[in-house]
Amino acid sequence: MEFKRMAVEKKRPAVAVLEDGSVFRGSAFAGQAHACGEVVFNTAMAGYQEVLTDPSYSEQILVMTYPLIGSYGINDEDMESRSIHLEGIIVREYQQWPSNYRSSRSLARYLEDHGKIGIEGIDTRALTRRIRTQGAMRGIIAVEPANISELKEKLRAYPGLVGRDLVCRVTGRELLLWKNNTLVPAGVLRPVHTGLRVVVLDCGVKHNILRSLEHLGCEVVVIPSRFSSADIIALNPDGVLLSNGPGDPAPLTNEVETVRGLLGEVPVFGICLGNQLLAQAAGAQTAKLKFGHHGVNQPVKNLLSGRVEITSQNHGFHVLRETLPADAEVTHINLNDNTLEGIRYPSRLAFSVQYHPEAAPGPHDSQYLFEEFLALMRSRRFKAA
């Protein structure tokens, strides 16, 4: 009883405040001060480490709908990038004693090391229902808050995600190679290569995308998102992968122009934000979803095969079907809300999906898409020869 009483006394009060004025009170298990971001919920039961390190969550505050988080700690093998990109995490009940032979530290320690906030004790069911009803909202989380009115003022000054370029915060700064599960400086690339060279436009790429390409025997070159189409063609790629990434695709005019210059020149495969960049380059438009798709249980129908895939997703924006060009073919749809999940452009050597075929976390139903990309690159190389 004495131990429990001491644990309660050490808890620090914390709050989450939404832009509609609602206040949710709990206690902090990591971090200090305050942070603003868009509040979103994720329906996965596990995989919080991969979510924390997914650059697509930049400037977001994550609510986990599964109530018990932290039970297996943090390990060094399942990172999806080199850092934590979201602003904070809200859980119903934090599990402070990890039980996993691979665990090297607790979730709280990992958050503390990166200066991020963790809050527990909040009614995450009520918070999730509010987001589902009202839509994704800006929010602020704070540890040991002195004045709720001051927090609301800070939140009103926060601009949110719409219309802002967040890719510049997460893209790389130099040419890199993915080798043996790590990124290394590329140096001078060989102009002629025997294997398939894939150039990855890094808008916030997850490491498991790179692992998936390496597993298929590809040479994986990772480039900053500001590279031009001429820069990419000069690398002599067999294919270009447009990666996932955070925020609104609409202001990414430089990346869209780059993709437009690649269409018809080299096979292109887009994932998540890459799907939106490809669609915009082809002439389509994007819009914000009410509360986004975040989780590992999203049902998607493949219209070409008739099969239903359970997919991993993380996006708050989508491509508007009515704005697609005439040469675009819808290949996948979301069975929850009928939004676009996959598009191909046969005359432009390009295709893309809105979800994550590399999973991490999530099911592996959609990994065949990497094989299709491989086949497209091989076909193109054979014709060129």
* Mean pLDDT, residues 222-236: 97
> For residue 188, what pLDDT is reported?
75
pLDDT at 8 over 90: no
Q: Where in the chain is the domain with CATH 3.50.30.20?
A: 12-157
pLDDT at 152 over 90: yes
* Mean pLDDT, residues 257-276: 98
- pLDDT digit string, tens, across residues 340-380: 999 999 999 999 999 999 999 999 999 999 999 999 999 87
* Mean pLDDT, residues 186-206: 86
> For residue 130, what pLDDT is reported?
96
pLDDT at 104 over 70: yes
- pLDDT digit string, tens, across residues 18-36: 999 999 999 999 999 999 9
First to last CA, the chain: 76
> For residue 382, what pLDDT is reported?
57
- pLDDT digit string, tens, across residues 63-78: 999 999 999 999 999 9
pLDDT at 313 over 70: yes
> For residue 381, what pLDDT is reported?
65
Q: Where in the chain is the domain with CATH 3.40.50.880?
A: 167-384
The answer to whether domain 12-157 has CATH 3.50.30.20 is yes
User: Which of 159-168, 191-200, 279-288 has the lowest average pLDDT?
Assistant: 191-200
Task: Specify the higher pLDDT residue, 68 or 381.
Answer: 68
* Mean pLDDT, residues 310-325: 97
Task: Specify the higher pLDDT residue, 234 or 381.
Answer: 234
pLDDT at 140 over 70: yes
- Percentage of the chain with pLDDT > 70? 95
Predicted TM-score (pTM) of this structure? 0.94
Instruction: Look at the block and give the residue holding tokens 């000054």.
Output: 157
pLDDT at 6 over 50: no
Local confidence band at 10 (pLDDT 50, 70, 90 cut-offs): confident
Extract the tokens encoding 210.
């790179």
pLDDT at 383 over 70: no
Active site residues: 272, 356, 358
Report the CATH superfamily, name and number, of domain 167-384: Class I glutamine amidotransferase (GATase) domain (3.40.50.880)
Sheet holding 329-334, edge to edge: 182-185, 176-179, 219-224, 197-202, 239-242, 268-271, 350-353, 340-345, 329-334, 286-302, 308-319
> For residue 332, what pLDDT is reported?
98
What average pLDDT does the chain have?
Answer: 94
